[in-house]
Chain A
Amino acid sequence: MGLHLARLQEEDPEAEVKRLGLIVNPVAGVGGRVGLKGSDGAEILRRALELGAVRDAPRRAWLALERLARVRDHVEVVTWPAEMGEDEARAAGFEPRVLGTFCGRPTWAAAERDHGHDVAALGVAGEFVLTSPADTEQAARDLVAAGVDLILFAGGDGTARNICNAVGAGVPVIGVPAGVKIHSAVYATTPAAAGDVAALFLHERPAAVRLREGEVMDIDEEAFRENRVSAQLFGYLSVPYARGLTQSAKAGGVAGEERALNDVATEVIRDMSPGALYILGPGTTTRTIMTRLGLEKTLLGVDAVLGGALAGRDVTEEGLLRLLQAHPAAHIVVTVIGGQGHIFGRGNQQISAPVIRRVGVAGITVIATQTKLLSLEGRPLLVDTGDPALDAELCGYAKVVTGLGERTMYKVGL
C-alpha cells in the first residue's frame, strides 16, 4: 500500500480506503488475440497500428488516472505489471499494488530479433508488451480476489469481453474508450469522464453514482477486418454513471434506473393482448418484462411469450418464423443494444428482416429508459437488418415506451 495510505490508516483506523483495479490493454482493438508467430502476427499488428489502437490505451488510461489523482490519498490502485497498469499508475502519481505476472511475454524487441520484423518501419516507438486475452482475464480475476471496489480498464470490446468472462456483473467496471470502434455500452465518454466517475464513486460522493447494466458486444473479427460490423451480445457488465445531484428546489436526479425499468415493463405488460405472440429481444429492459411475468429470460438470446407464458427460449431465426407461422398476430419488443444505439442488427440478428416483415413494422415496440436514450446524446437509434429496403422503412421516429403512460419520440436512422 502507498506510504500516504498507510499513514492515513495509522492516523485514522476507521478511514475507508477504496481500491481501484486497473487493467490497461496496450494492444486494444483486435480482441487481444495476437500472436507473433510467423508473419501473421506482424500483419495483424500492422492493422492494429493502422487502427490507432496500440499507442492510445496507455495514454488514455493515464488521462483517467490524472483525474483520479485528486483522491489519491483515499484510493489504492491495484494493477498488473508494466504497461498493463503499473506504469500508467505511477505516471499519475499513485503507488500501485502490483499483482501477477504475464503468461507469455514476447516484446517488440524480441519480435525484431527473432522474426526479423522492422519494427521501426511499422511506426512503433519504444517497447510494447503484446498481451493476450488470458492476461486480461487473469488480471481481472486477481483484482476481484484482491477486493477491488471498481475496475477501470483501457481497451476495446475485446478487453471488455475478457473482463466480462472473468468478472461478470460482480464488480462495477468502467471503460476508458481507447481509440477503437466502441460497440459495448460500458465506456465513459472520455478518459477524463471515466476518472471523474471513478473519483465520485470511490470517494467523493458515492451517492451521486448509480450502477446500470451495460451490454458487452462480441465483434466478429473476421468481418471486422473486412470492414463489416457483425456483433453479438456477449454479456453484461455493471457500469457506474453519474446522475445529477439533488441539491436544489429545481434540481433532482433522473428517475432511478431500476424503477424506470420496472415502469417500462409494467407499461408493456399492461398493453399485452393475451392472444398475441410477443418476441422479446435481449436486453435489460426486455429482461425486466420477463421477470415481471415470472419467466426467466435468456440472457443473450431472443425469447417468445404467448398468453403470459414462455413460447420459446433462445429462439433462432428459423424458430421465430415457425412460431409466427402458428401465431400470425405478433409483436416484436426490442431495446437498445450496445453503445451505438442499435435496435436491430447488433445482438438480436435472430429478429431478422423476414421475421420483421412477417410481424409488420407496425408491430414493433421499442422500449428503453429515458436515461438510456439520453446517453445517445442526440444520435439516432440505429437499424441494420441486412435488408436495406426494410431499414429504410424502419427509419423515422419510434414511439419508445419509456415509463408508465409515457412515450418518447426518438429518431431512428441508419
Chain B
Amino acid sequence: MADKPFIHPYIPNSVPATKEAMLDELGLSSVEEIYAEIPDRLRFKGTLDIPPAILAERDLRRHVQGLLDKNISSVDYLNFCGAGCWQHHVPSIVDEVINRAEFVSAYCGGEYSDLGKYLTRFEFNSMLGELLDYAAVANPIYDWGDVAGRAFRMARRITGRDKVLVPSHMSPMRLMEARTLCQPEAMVGSTKLRFFEWDRDTGMVDLDDLRTKLDDSFAAVYWESPGYLGTIEAHGAEIVKIAHEHGALAIAGVDPITLGVLVPPGALGADIACGDIQGLGMHMHAGGGCSGFIAFRDDDPVFAEECPLELYTVMETATPGQYAVAEALAERTSYGARDQGKDWVGTASGLWTIAAAVYMAVMGPQGFKDLGETCIARSHYAAKLLGEIPGVRIKLSPSFFKEFVVDFDGTGKTVAEVNKKLLGHQIFGGKDLSAEFPELGQSALYCVTEYYDQADIETLAAAVEEVTA
C-alpha cells in the first residue's frame, strides 16, 4: 500500500480512518489479505505505465479540454461531409432531456424504478414506427451497417435460404460491417452476399440486373434509399414486388429523417426496414452518434420471433389506463438464451433513443416536412452553384435528398487536394469517393442539410471555385 494516503473525491472510503474502521469490522489488517485469493505468480508487481494522477478538477479539466481544443469542429468550420453521419440541427430541448442525470446514469433498472426510461423507449418505438410506417420497432443497436447485417441474418432464418442480394453501390462501410456478421463463405452458417448492379447514370438500382440475378435461392433483397451516393431510389415498390415474386424478403435501408417527404418503407411493402437514427437529434460525436434500428411487419409473428434485437411491449396494469412497458419475447435474445438466442444484444443506444423520441415529438409531422423540403432545396442549390464552377460536374440523378456527387475530374485536381485546400477556407469538403468508387473518378459526396443556409452555401461555392482554379 502507498505511504501517502490516496484520497479522491470519487472514492469516499479512501479516507484512511474509514478504511481502518471497515477493515476492523472484517477483522483484517489490510486489503492484501483479500488479494491473497490471487496467487503470487498471477499478481502484477510493477507500476502501471500511466502518468501520475491529475487530482485537482481544475487541472484535469484544463488538460483534457486543452487536448480537445486542438480539434476543429463543425461549428468552427463549415462541414459538408455526410456519408452516413450527418449534421442536422439538434433542438436544445433534446440535449436538455438527455443531459438529465436520471437518464444519463440509468442502466438496467427495473420496470418500476426506471419506468420513465421504459415509457420513453416505448414512445420512441411508436413514433419511429409512424415515420417508417410499421407497427413493430425493435430496440436500436450500434449502427446502420450492423443492423443491415443482422437483417440479412434474420431473413436467412425466416426463409431458410442462405443468400442475400445487395446493390453493389451500397455503402462500402456498411457492407464491410455486414460481411463481418455474415461470416466467411467457407463457414457452414455463412449468409452469402451477392450483388446486383446500379445505374451509373442515375445512381439508382439496375432493375433489369436485379431481375436477372434474383431467384428462389435468395432470402432477401436489400436496397438503400437515399442510397449511399445520395440518390432517392425511384423503384422501391418494384424492388419489393420482384423480391416477393421469388419468395424473398424485401429489406429497405433508410434514413428516417427523409420520411417527412419520402414514402416510408412500410408503405412500400418492405418486410423489414433498417437504418440509422443519428439524424434524429444526435450530435455527430465523430460517428458516435450513430444508432441502427430494425422495424418489421407485425402481421406474422415469425418476424418478431426471429428479430435479434430487444423488443418492448406496452401493457395495462390492473388499474385501467395505467401502463407498464416490459421486454417481450425475452427468451429469444442472447440474454434469455445465450448462444441459442438470435445473434446477440448488449448495451448500445439507450440514450440515443431518448434523444430521438424528444426530436420526433418536437419536430412533429410538419417539422419533418419542412426539413425535408429545406434539405432538398438547399442541397440542390449547392449542387447548382458547384455545377457552375469550371471543371466541376454534378453526377447522377437530380433526385437526391441532401447528398450528391461532385466530380472534380475536370479541374485536374484530386478530391484530396481540394479538401486540403478547403481547410484553408475553414471548410470540410465532401467525402472522398475516389477509392470506394473509382468509376466516379475524382468525386466527392457533398452533404447539405437544413443546418447550413444560403450564405453558407455561397461561401462553399466561392471557396471551391477558388481552390479549383
Q: Which of A252-289 contact B (CB under 8 A)?
A: 252-256, 260, 263
Question: Which of B108, B110, B310, B331 has most chain A Cβ within 10 Å?
Answer: B331
- A325 CB-CB contact with B under 8 Å: no
**Known A252-B336, A404-B340, A405-B339: A247·B331 in contact at CB below 8 Å:** no
A260, B337: Cα distance in complex, Å: 10
Q: 1/0 per position for B84-126, CB-CB distance to A under 8 A?
A: 0000000000000000000000001111000000000000000
B334's nearest neighbour on chain A, judged by CB, is A252
Establish whether residues A248 and B339, one from each chain, have CB atoms under 8 Å apart when the complex forms. Answer: no
Across the interface, B326 reaches (CB within 8 A) one of A247, A255, A256, namely A247
Find chain B residues with CB under 8 A from A253 CB: 330-331, 336
Find chain A residues with CB under 8 A from B339 CB: 403, 405-406
- B258 CB-CB contact with A under 8 Å: no
Q: 1/0 per position for B335-372, CB-CB distance to A under 8 A?
A: 11101100000000000000000000000000000000
A250, B111: Cα distance in complex, Å: 12
- A103 CB-CB contact with B under 8 Å: no
- B333 CB-CB contact with A under 8 Å: yes
Across the interface, B335 reaches (CB within 8 A) one of A251, A260, A403, A404, namely A251
- B24 CB-CB contact with A under 8 Å: no
- A246 CB-CB contact with B under 8 Å: yes
A262: min CB distance to chain B, Å: 11
Find chain A residues with CB under 8 A from B335 CB: 249-252
**Known A247-B110, A249-B108, A250-B108: A255·B327 in contact at CB below 8 Å:** no
A339, B142: Cα distance in complex, Å: 45
Establish whether residues B340 and A249, one from each chain, have CB atoms under 8 Å apart when the complex forms. Answer: no
Q: 1/0 per position for B219-258, CB-CB distance to A under 8 A?
A: 0000000000000000000000000000000000000000
Find chain B residues with CB under 8 A from A255 CB: 331, 336-337, 340
Establish whether residues A251 and B337, one from each chain, have CB atoms under 8 Å apart when the complex forms. Answer: no
Establish whether residues A246 and B331, one from each chain, have CB atoms under 8 Å apart when the complex forms. Answer: yes
A263, B333: Cα distance in complex, Å: 16
Establish whether residues B340 and A248, one from each chain, have CB atoms under 8 Å apart when the complex forms. Answer: no
Establish whether residues A246 and B336, one from each chain, have CB atoms under 8 Å apart when the complex forms. Answer: yes
Question: Which of A249, A251, A253, A255 has most chain B Cβ within 10 Å?
Answer: A249
The size bracket of the interface on A is 10 to 19
A253's nearest neighbour on chain B, judged by CB, is B331
A263, B342: Cα distance in complex, Å: 13
**Known A253-B331, A255-B331, A256-B331: A248·B336 in contact at CB below 8 Å:** no
A340: min CB distance to chain B, Å: 26
Q: 1/0 per position for A372-414, CB-CB distance to B under 8 A?
A: 0000000000000000000000000000000111100000000
**Known A255-B337, A255-B340, A260-B340: A248·B331 in contact at CB below 8 Å:** no
B167: min CB distance to chain A, Å: 32
A255, B341: Cα distance in complex, Å: 8
Across the interface, A247 reaches (CB within 8 A) one of B327, B333, B337, namely B327
Establish whether residues B337 and A254, one from each chain, have CB atoms under 8 Å apart when the complex forms. Answer: yes
A248, B324: Cα distance in complex, Å: 12
Across the interface, A246 reaches (CB within 8 A) one of B108, B109, B326, B340, namely B326
Find chain A residues with CB under 8 A from B109 CB: 248
A324, B371: Cα distance in complex, Å: 76
Find chain A residues with CB under 8 A from B337 CB: 252, 254-255
Establish whether residues B108 and A254, one from each chain, have CB atoms under 8 Å apart when the complex forms. Answer: no
A222, B36: Cα distance in complex, Å: 55
**Known A249-B327, A250-B108, A256-B331: A403·B336 in contact at CB below 8 Å:** no
A264: min CB distance to chain B, Å: 10
A216, B111: Cα distance in complex, Å: 40
B156: min CB distance to chain A, Å: 14
B344: min CB distance to chain A, Å: 12
A5, B108: Cα distance in complex, Å: 40
A249, B111: Cα distance in complex, Å: 9
A404, B330: Cα distance in complex, Å: 19
A144: min CB distance to chain B, Å: 31
A255, B330: Cα distance in complex, Å: 9
A248, B336: Cα distance in complex, Å: 11
B305's nearest neighbour on chain A, judged by CB, is A259
Some 23 contacts from A to B, beta carbons below 8 A apart, are: A246-B327, A247-B110, A247-B111, A247-B326, A248-B108, A248-B109, A248-B111, A249-B108, A249-B335, A250-B335, A251-B330, A252-B330, A252-B333, A252-B337, A253-B330, A253-B336, A254-B331, A254-B337, A255-B337, A263-B340, A403-B340, A404-B340, A406-B339
Query: 7 closest Cβ contacts across the A-B interface?
Result: A252-B336, A246-B330, A252-B330, A255-B337, A249-B108, A252-B335, A403-B340
B interface list, Cβ under 8 A from A: 108-111, 310, 326-327, 330-331, 333, 335-337, 339-340
Given A252-B336, A404-B340, 8 more contacts at CB 8 Å?
A: A246-B326, A246-B330, A248-B108, A250-B108, A251-B330, A252-B331, A252-B333, A254-B337
A interface list, Cβ under 8 A from B: 246-256, 260, 263, 403-406
